Amino acid sequence: MPPGTDELAGITWQDFLVDPDPPAEPVEFGVQTAGVHNTTETLEVDVLVDSGADGVYAGDDEGIPADYLLVKQPAPGGEVCVFDLSLADALSSCAATYFPDYSNYNSNSVGLVVSAEDIGLTNAEPSLAYQVTACTGTFSGDVPGQFCDTAGTPDPETGVYDARLNATTPALRINPLACEGFWSTRPCSGDRPIRVARGAAAPGDDPGILALFPNNAPSRNPTVVSTDTGG
């Protein structure tokens, strides 16, 4: 887009970004898969969200072990659809629809951005547990197939997924969380590096950081950073 231009082909970048819902308090699920998936029209990414991280699911009537289902849809545009599984006919329409923040080519890096309130997060109840599955089509001769990657294992006794987040008191405090791109506040280079401090992590927990670089080639777009919280 030329400098000073905020509209192209009849749509502003703001309208394109929210598509159509603006994430007032954005929460992004960054997904890095083992295999390279097509991220345009064939990749579907499903996030099962257990609001409250309690193993009690509003989606039981639908046969879905979650309170909310986020879907990066396998269709032109690939918007992120939020299904509120507490509603009647929960899968008939999206409770909210968001812009898909992902690499627009064969990639193993995808981001699903939603607003915190649309997945049941509040200051009083900021915790969630989740599972992520990414699937894309494969073809062998005339026989279509599919391959998938999944992260987030349910506890065999409680059913609570082992991928968890406390949105107000995360294990690590990272500032800023995003550099450049749509959700950033500033660059992270030179004399302004990313700063990491211990948050809710207890000594000895040593949580890791998954850093995603969506515009890099697939072999270079994720980096896992280990931490040492002492103890």
Distance of alpha carbon 230 from the chain centroid: 29
Per-residue confidence (pLDDT) for residue 153, from 0 to 100:
95
What's the pLDDT score for residue 49? 98
Overall average pLDDT of the 175-203 stretch: 84
Q: Are residues 155 and 231 in the same domain?
A: no
One domain for residues 144 and 196:
no
The predicted model gives 14-18 an average pLDDT of 64
Residues 60 and 145 in one domain: yes
* Residue 183 C-beta-side C-alpha neighbours within 13 Å: 24
Q: Do 146 and 191 fall into the same domain?
A: no
Torsion (CA) 106, 107, 108, 110 in degrees, nearest 10: -110
**Residues 180 and 141 grouped into a single domain:** no
Read off the pLDDT of residues 42-67 as tens digits, 9 standing for 90 and up. Answer: 788 999 999 999 999 999 999 999 99
Q: Is the peptide bond before 170 cis (omega within 30 degrees of 0)?
A: no
Residues 157 and 220 in one domain: no
Three-state SS across 134-201? EEEEEEECCEEEEEEEEECCECCCCCCECEEEECCCCCEEEECCCECCCCCCECCCCCCCCEEEECCC
Single out the residue in 167, 182, 217 at which a domain terminates. 167
How far separated are the first and last CA of the chain, in Å rounded? 51
Whether residue 140 sits in one domain with residue 102? yes
Residue whose pair of structure tokens reads 């598509």 in the numeric block: 19
86 and 162 housed in the same domain: yes
The reply to whether 204 and 140 lie within a common domain is: no
Cα distances from 66 to residues 110, 193, 216, in angstroms, run 21, 37, 33
Please report whether residue 2 resides in a domain: no
> Of 147, 167, 187, which residue sits at a domain end?
167
Q: What is the pLDDT of residues 62-94, one digit of tens each?
A: 999 999 999 998 877 788 999 999 999 999 999
Clarify whether residues 213 and 129 are in a common domain: no
The radius of gyration computed from the CA coordinates of the chain, to the nearest angstrom, equals 18
Examine the domain organization and report whether 163 and 174 are in the same domain. Answer: no
**pLDDT confidence of 140, banded at 50, 70, 90?**
low
Q: Are β-strands 172-175 and 100-102 bridged in parallel, bridged antiparallel, or unpaired?
A: unpaired
How far apart are the C-alpha atoms of 111 and 102, rounded to whole Å?
A: 5
- Structural domains in the chain (count): 2
229 versus 9: the higher-pLDDT residue is: 229
Q: Residue 11 and residue 18: Cα distance in Å, rounded? A: 12
Give the domain range for residue 190: 169-231
3 part of a folded domain: no
Q: What are phi and psi of 59, to 5 degrees?
A: -85, 10
Same domain? 102 vs 190:
no
Q: Within a domain: residue 4?
A: no
Whether residue 174 lies inside any domain: the answer is yes
Q: Are 49 and 117 in contact (CB under 8 A)?
A: no
Q: Which of 167, 188, 223 is the last residue of a domain?
A: 167
